[in-house]
């Protein structure tokens, strides 16, 4: 009976993944030069290896880019020098003054808020320093936002994977999201639970941003992108996420260590309702991993159905997002890695010393007892 229940769940999640692969919101093609100028905002902390490529892809967008603002978030490498060279090369590029990180703020939300305060145009496009825009990307973003009446639009980027670790493990990001998140719902229901965003490419209307409070509302969030989208929807504004494979590319992490640390910092904090965390982790252990292992040890009909459904879901998403098809065969390895990251994230945030990211340490603040 339990095996059949697992098979039904696996089939259900396979259906969600397939529907998402077929219907994930696609960007609208737009005629070049048909939109107003945009403020492109790049927060950067220790990004000397990638910042230059990001700015190059931005200025190549043409006249639609009215200004490119870079905030050097107290980098200890050559980030500021690279931004300064670009400012000398292109008058649209400007490097903002760096200020100490205020109490009560995490680094990236503060950097983004500083950038927004300096922006001068209606549309603001936040980019991570490792993002590479594709030709006509900004026109597509604005046209898509206008067509769907969105004042916040995130593009889910194509993820570059070069090393073996990336090719095996990074597809789990799309698998994790696209098996649990019913993307068509974002178009028809305003509820914050259907908010999704990827901080590497985030377009928003400047007036709406400040009316809602912008990144000040998510000042203590490491998972600030989706948190901001939730805040957007809670305020009655339309926030959407589209397929950004033709808009932006990003190489998020380059080694097992970087993947572990990057996923660890976001896994547990990404759950607004913490009681969902053990449920999701349990689903990955029982539904997405156990049938594949059990199929080799003691195969039964429901186990085969469950394992087949997981395999089909993974293959559909691999084809949709152009991941290496052979990585599907190593799905159990990737799942065990994901479960380990989840447990480590829980331990670090709730019981350990917090997580470290880009030379800053973040901890969960527990409520203080009131003395009487």
> CB under 8 Å to 252, separation ≥6 — which residues?
130, 159, 170, 173, 200, 262
One domain, residues 335 and 204: no
One domain, residues 232 and 91: yes
**Last residue in a domain, options 205, 230, 252:** 252
- Residue 352: what pLDDT? 80
The answer to whether 161 touches 152, Cβ cutoff 8 Å, is no
One domain, residues 120 and 85: yes
Domain membership of residue 367 (yes or no) is: no
3-state secondary structure of 227: helix
Domain membership of residue 172 (yes or no) is: no
One domain, residues 139 and 195: yes
Domain membership of residue 177 (yes or no) is: no
One domain, residues 326 and 283: yes
One domain, residues 235 and 278: no
Domain membership of residue 74 (yes or no) is: yes
Helix H segments across the chain?
Answer: 2-23, 51-59, 79-89, 107-118, 137-147, 164-169, 171-178, 185-188, 206-212, 224-234, 256-267, 276-286, 290-297, 301-320, 331-346
Domain membership of residue 308 (yes or no) is: yes
10-residue stretch averages of pLDDT, the chain, 372 residues long: 94 97 92 76 96 98 96 95 97 96 94 97 97 96 96 97 96 96 94 94 97 96 92 97 96 93 88 91 97 92 96 96 94 97 92 77 52 30
- Overall domain count for the chain: 2
Beta-ladder partners of 67: 39
3-state secondary structure of 42: strand
- Residue 150: what pLDDT? 97
One domain, residues 100 and 132: yes
What is the dihedral sign for C-alpha 366, 99, 48, 57?
A: positive
- Residue 372: what pLDDT? 28
- Residue 47: what pLDDT? 96
Buried b or exposed e, range 78-116, using 16+ CB within 10 angstroms: bbbebbeebbeeeebbebbeeeeeeeeebbbbbbbbbbb
CATH of residue 200's domain is 3.90.550.10
- Residue 33: what pLDDT? 56
- Residue 31: what pLDDT? 62
One domain, residues 209 and 234: yes
One domain, residues 266 and 245: no
One domain, residues 224 and 187: yes
Domain membership of residue 364 (yes or no) is: no
One domain, residues 194 and 274: no
One domain, residues 105 and 201: yes
The answer to whether 153 touches 145, Cβ cutoff 8 Å, is yes
> CB under 8 Å to 311, separation ≥6 — which residues?
292, 328, 331
Q: What is the pTM of this model?
A: 0.93
Range of the domain at 203: 24-160+182-252
- Residue 314: what pLDDT? 97
What is the dihedral sign for C-alpha 228, 234, 236, 242?
A: positive
Domain membership of residue 232 (yes or no) is: yes
**Last residue in a domain, options 226, 252, 278:** 252
**Last residue in a domain, options 252, 274, 293:** 252
Domain membership of residue 15 (yes or no) is: yes
């Amino acid at each position: 009976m339990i095996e059949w229940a697992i098979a039904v769940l696996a089939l259900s999640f396979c259906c969600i993944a397939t529907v998402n692969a077929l219907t994930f919101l696609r960007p609208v093609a737009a005629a070049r030069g048909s939109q107003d100028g945009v403020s492109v905002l790049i927060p950067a902390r220790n990004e000397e290896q990638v910042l230059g490529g990001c700015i190059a892809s931005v200025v190549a967008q043409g006249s639609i880019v009215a200004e490119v603002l870079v905030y050097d978030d107290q980098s200890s490498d050559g980030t500021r020098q690279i931004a300064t060279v670009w400012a000398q090369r292109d008058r649209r590029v400007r490097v903002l003054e760096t200020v100490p990180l205020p109490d009560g703020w995490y680094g990236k939300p503060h950097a983004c808020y500083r950038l927004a305060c300096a922006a001068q145009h209606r549309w603001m496009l936040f980019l991570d320093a490792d993002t590479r825009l594709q030709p006509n990307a900004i026109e597509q973003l604005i046209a898509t936002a206008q067509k769907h009446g969105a004042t916040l639009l995130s593009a889910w980027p194509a993820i570059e994977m070069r090393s073996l670790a990336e090719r095996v493990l990074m597809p789990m990001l799309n698998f994790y999201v696209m098996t649990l998140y019913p993307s068509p719902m974002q178009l028809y229901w305003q509820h914050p639970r259907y908010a999704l965003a990827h901080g590497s490419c985030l377009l928003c209307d400047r007036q709406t941003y400040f009316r809602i409070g912008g990144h000040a509302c998510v000042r203590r969030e490491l998972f600030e992108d989706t948190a901001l989208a939730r805040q957007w929807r809670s305020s009655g504004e339309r926030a959407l996420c589209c397929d950004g494979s033709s808009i932006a590319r990003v190489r998020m992490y380059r080694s097992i260590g970087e993947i572990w640390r990057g996923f660890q910092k976001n896994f547990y904090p990404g759950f607004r309702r913490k009681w969902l965390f053990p449920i999701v982790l349990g689903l990955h252990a029982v539904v997405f991993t156990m049938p594949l292992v059990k199929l080799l040890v003691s195969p039964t009909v429901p186990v085969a159905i469950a394992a087949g459904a997981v395999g089909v879901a993974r293959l559909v998403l691999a084809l949709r997002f152009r991941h290496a098809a052979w990585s599907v065969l190593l799905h159990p390895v990737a799942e065990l890695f994901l479960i380990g990251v989840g447990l480590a994230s829980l331990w670090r945030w709730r019981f350990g010393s917090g997580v470290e990211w880009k030379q800053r340490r973040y901890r969960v603040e527990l409520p203080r007892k009131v003395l009487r």
